[in-house]
Amino acid sequence: MRYSVTDPKRNTANRQGIGMTSQRTRERLIEVLTGLGVQDPRVLEVMRSTPRHLFLDEALAHRAYEDKSLPIGHNQTLSRPYTVARMSELLLASCAAQKVLEVGTGSGYQTCILAQLVPKLLTMERIEPLLERAKHRLQRLAIHNVVYKHGDGYEGWPAREPFDGIMVTAAPSQIPKALQWQLAEGGCMIIPVGEDEQHLLKITRSGNHFSKQKIEAANFVPLVNGLI
């Protein structure tokens, strides 16, 4: 039997997915992630225990533990598990991630993973219905260290800066300047950049200098201006 977020039989203590039939498929996904080089045990553990199927429509839930990006409506996608794991691992390894900003809440799946890895998470999304749905899901999963904003990631969240880490889950053609200036000293931003060809970049702040490191090829939906 598969539970949905709104199923009253599911209680909030069920973040581990206890009693769910998909535990074995989830283990297989963890094997795929380690095979692809994901190493951080903290990341692998939260990926193992987080019910990704609750972030998808019922009709797609059976595909939740494939290492694939999947549609979440409004022409957006839930990121591929490998990407979620890799970006989380990079962020944790690259800065003292106490207070983190995520741009592009989408389904809330990456939000849910990150929220279990850092003390304080702020997340912003330009499409309000997606943000509301994600918020509802995370509250049902008893994730309470997240603050939500319907806003444009190109502008970041000036009222709440600085951030030790920033993770962007949609791709701009260039690094948004406002965002990088919201990094704390020594802070880092993990962001896919590019149009036809995208790369995942790691930007690290040192004073007024921003060093840029290319990590690997990426494939994200575009970061778009303006709110819906």
SS3 218: strand
Q: Which residue among the candidates 22, 69, 79, 88 is catalytic per the annotation?
A: 79
Task: Return the amino acid letter for 156.
Answer: G
Question: Among residues 3 and 148, whose Cβ is nearest to ligand SAH?
Answer: 148
Residues in the chain: 228
Question: Among residues 63 and 206, whose Cβ is nearest to ligand SAH?
Answer: 63
Does position 79 bind ligand SAH by CB under 6 A? yes
Are 125 and 105 in contact, with CB atoms under 8 Å apart? yes
Among 47, 78, 114, 115, binds ligand SAH (CB under 6 A): 78
Residue 181, class by beta-carbon neighbours within 10 Å (0-12 exposed, 13-18 middle, 19+ buried)? middle
CB of 22 to ligand SAH, least distance (A): 18
> How many residues line the site for ligand SAH (CB under 6 A)?
24
Of 103, 101, 150, the closest CA to residue 127 belongs to: 150
Give the integer Cα–Cα distance in Å for 94 and 165. Answer: 9
Interface with ligand SAH in residues 55-74 (CB under 6 A): 72
CB of 70 to ligand SAH, least distance (A): 9
CB of 206 to ligand SAH, least distance (A): 26
206 is catalytic: no
Interface with ligand SAH in residues 133-192 (CB under 6 A): 152-154, 169-170
Provide φ and ψ at 201, rounded to 5°: -115, 155
SS3 124: strand
Give the integer Cα–Cα distance in Å for 122 and 152. Answer: 13
SS3 206: strand
Does position 106 bind ligand SAH by CB under 6 A? yes
Does position 14 bind ligand SAH by CB under 6 A? no
CB of 9 to ligand SAH, least distance (A): 25
Among 82, 109, 157, 163, binds ligand SAH (CB under 6 A): 109
Tokens standing for residue 27 = 């283990």
Residues that bind ligand SAH (CB under 6 A): 72, 76-79, 103-104, 106-107, 109-110, 124-127, 130, 152-154, 169-170, 221, 223-224
The residues annotated with a catalytic role in the active site are 79
